[in-house]
Amino acid sequence: MGCSGCRFRVNFGKALSKVSVFFTMVLIFTYFFYCLTGFCDSAPRAAYRQETSDLDYDILDDLRPPRRLFPDAPFQRNRTGSEDAPAEPSQNTLDSEKETVQSNGIPVSNTFGTKRFPQAIIIGVKKGGTRALLEFLRIHPDVRAFGAEPHFFDRFYDKGLEWYRNLMPRTLDGQITMEKTPSYFVTKEAPSRICTMNCQTKLIVVVRDPVTRAVSDYTQTLSKNPGLPSFQSLALKNSSTGLIDTTWSAVRIGLYAKHLENWLQYFPLSQFLFVSGERLVSDPAGEMGRVQDFLGLKRVVSDKHFYFNQTKGFPCLKKPEGSSRPRCLGKSKGRPHPQIPSEVLQRLRDFYRPFNHRFYQMSGQDFGWD
């Protein structure tokens, strides 16, 4: 009988061991199943961790070619020979971009959160500081932004709103979805199209002295097309009369008051925030405070995130969590502007002065460009 009890204890121990192994294997396979479906990677990561290594400041003449939304699409060229809109993308290219674009370290392809239309859009202006502003905002844990410029409301509107929504990163409740496309501000159809999506959308416009902005715009184009005509030959209709050629995009973009008139037909002034490109350089924390207030966000981005780089002469982001170095300007920053006759610049200042004053009145802010 003692031997029977021994056999019973041995058999029971073996059975218990097999049951333990079975449940362990079930747990392991369950874990791997969730990881393979993307669930393991769906939790938000540190808010201040960024995947890119260099901050791309368009206001600061960082002239690196911007990351293309549709990498396989050939560029079209505008009047001055600058790279402009990509051709219509293939579905494979679009699907690939949607799977790889990230915001604050959260993959777009995960299953956590919801894809929403942007509640706020940076609509302008080119060479004003829009990229710097977007990168500063992406430090905030409650902001999720599409990294590239989708150009939906000016170039790909025929794709439909659902196509546009699917480009956006997934967000959690309480987070804001954003995008930036500076050419919206100067696109006649953009206000009505954005209002069709949502007339409550908040609109951010980064503006800069239009003369400096035009020179910066020209310098960027010249770096890509060395055979470009001189600045003065493009800016003036006739050198003897000194009339300004407003058909040249570098000049036309700086007519802020005219462009704003078009937007005010669809949106009240209270839905706009005008950010000073100059103050974004001289006082980034101060301007970011205004932006966060406008978006209804807690003031998270502050002085502690910036330091002034004496070598570059501009503010940079301090070393983010998980990064080996601070995030500052790209290597191509600091390209010297071409020599432009002072009388040409003065003609431009005289030309813009009434438009600037009108813009000050409309926006309720004096940017001090005169």
Residue partners of 97: CB distance under 8 A and separation at least 6: 69, 70, 71, 89, 148, 167
Q: Of 335, 144, 322, 344, whose CA–CA distance to 231 is shortest?
A: 344
Q: Hey, is 212 helix, strand or coil?
A: helix
> Is 79 marked as binding a ligand?
no
C-beta separation of 301 from 140 below 8 A:
yes
> Is 334 marked as binding a ligand?
yes
As a whole number of angstroms, the distance between CA 116 and CA 73 comes to 26
Residue partners of 267: CB distance under 8 A and separation at least 6: 191, 195, 199, 201, 203
Phi-psi region at 288: left, alpha or beta (left = phi > 0; alpha = psi -120 to 50): alpha
* Residue of 127, 159, 318, 319 marked catalytic: 127
> Is 333 marked as binding a ligand?
yes
Q: Hey, is 139 helix, strand or coil?
A: coil
As a whole number of angstroms, the distance between CA 234 and CA 76 comes to 20
127 is catalytic: yes
> Is 129 marked as binding a ligand?
yes
* DSSP codes joined into one string, 34-61: HHHTTGGG-S---TT--S-SS---TTTT
> Is 337 marked as binding a ligand?
yes
> Is 128 marked as binding a ligand?
yes
> Is 2 marked as binding a ligand?
no
Q: Annotated catalytic sites, by residue? A: 127
Residue ranges for the binding site? 127-131, 208, 216, 333-337
Residue ranges for the binding site for 3'-phosphoadenylyl sulfate? 127-131, 208, 216, 333-337
